[in-house]
Amino acid sequence: MDDSYCETTPSRAAEPEPAAGPPYAACVQCQEPTEYPESTKGITLCPVCEWREAERTACSG
């Protein structure tokens, strides 16, 4: 048995950011800041509205 391989990896709380930073485009539904940059064209949704839209789309049919 080799105990030298039993090293625990340190838990990291920091996660990589999807966008560089503000300004973010406003959500078309609730005006909350989205994860997308302001230069994003078309409909921008915040994570919450995006999730709801996905649920609605999944329920169609």
Asked if 30 touches Zn ion (CB under 5 A), the answer is yes
Any idea which residue has 């709801």 for tokens? Answer: 52
27 vs 58: CA distance, rounded Å: 21
- Give the footprint of Zn ion on residues 6-25 (CB under 5 A): none
Q: Which stretch binds Zn ion (CB under 5 A): 2-10, 17-25, 29-37, 51-59?
A: 29-37
**Would you give the end-to-end CA distance of the chain in angstroms?**
57
Size of the site for Zn ion (CB under 5 A): 6
Report the interface residues with Zn ion, using CB under 5 A.
27, 29-30, 32, 46, 49
